[in-house]
Amino acid sequence: MHEKYKDHVVDQNYSQYTQAEHDLWAKLFHRQITHALIDRVEDTFLNAFEGLDLPANHIPVISDLSDHIYSKTKWRILPVVGLVPDPIFFDMLSNRVFPTTCFLRKPEQMDYIQEPDMFHDIFGHVPLLTIPIFADYMQAYGQAGLSILDSPKLKHLARLYWYTVEFGLINTPKGLRTYGAGVASSYKETFYCLESPIPHRLRFNADRVMLTNYKIDDVQATYFVIDRYEDLFDLMTTDLEATFNRLSRLPVFNPGEITDNDQFI
């Protein structure tokens, strides 16, 4: 089945990594686990992260990690060069395959990198793939995308991905927490998304999220808060075609815009 992705999948070529890159992985890793994750990421994410037993002091071997993930939720990760085209991305997700980059950011990008590198993909996305309900959501998300690939409606799904998989917040008995891969792998944003008075934090509303644009080059102006991961999976089981048709007739919102119907957290 992975044959069909052969034009996008590369060999990790583990020997390519320099000691300086392994050391940078270790620095990024230790900074997140000592200062950022505790009391900021949601417990299921934290348990999933700990269950992965990722190497702290050197870059992981993607194929070994993939076998570990497969044993948990039948997801696989395959090394790619960078962002893969949407049709491939959605097809991969629909087959429980996640494309992970295999380059590491430069030291000067330690605090922020715009495109996903392997620290973002492995430290941020991989734990989510081992949480059963989230693993199911990711596959259902991929299947939803396959059905609308060639239409502008794909923007609705891209916004949903951005405000949940990448930068989602969740209410928990212990208070507001994050679960997004983009947050969990970012030192600055792990604090910012929960503690800064600047961004808006709104109750998750599917229409509102799928109509809200986002900036890819900075922290979020708005975060959306869910109550349960099941709510995301359930959304994928609704009549999305009808939803996208309805949304395509409605105006979109700017990243930091607020409306009368917004419920602030």
Q: Does 84 bind ligand HBI (CB under 6 A)?
A: yes
Q: Does 116 bind ligand HBI (CB under 6 A)?
A: yes
Interface with Fe ion (CB under 5 A): 116, 181
Select from ligand HBI, Fe ion, none the partner in contact with residue 167, using the beta carbon and a kind-dependent cut-off of 5 to 8 Å: none
Min dist CB 57 to ligand HBI, Å, is 25
Q: Does 182 bind ligand HBI (CB under 6 A)?
A: no
Token pair belonging to 84: 């893969």
Q: Work out the angle at residue 166's Cα, subtended by the Cα atoms of residues 164 and 171, and round it to the nearest 5 degrees.
A: 45
Q: Work out the angle at residue 167's Cα, subtended by the Cα atoms of residues 198 and 209, and round it to the nearest 5 degrees.
A: 85
Q: Does 99 bind ligand HBI (CB under 6 A)?
A: yes
Q: How far is CA 85 from CA 36, 41, 53, 81, 254, in A?
A: 32, 30, 31, 12, 25
Selected binder of ligand HBI within 17, 45, 89, 134 (CB under 6 A)? 89
- DSSP code for 165: I
- Name, in order, each residue with C-beta under 8 angstroms of 59's C-beta and a sequence gap of 6 or more: 14, 17, 21, 22, 25, 104, 118
Q: Does 124 bind ligand HBI (CB under 6 A)?
A: no
Q: Does 79 bind ligand HBI (CB under 6 A)?
A: no
Q: Which is nearer to Fe ion, 109 or 243 (CB)?
A: 109
What residues numbered 138-167 form the site for ligand HBI, per CB under 6 A?
A: 158, 161
Q: Does 183 bind ligand HBI (CB under 6 A)?
A: no
Min dist CB 47 to ligand HBI, Å, is 23
Q: Which is nearer to ligand HBI, 4 or 30 (CB)?
A: 4
Termini Cα distance of the chain: 43
Q: Which is nearer to ligand HBI, 120 or 201 (CB)?
A: 120
Query: CA–CA separation, 225 vs 232, rounded Å?
Result: 11
Name the site residues for ligand HBI (rule: CB under 6 A): 80, 83-84, 86, 89, 99, 116, 158, 161
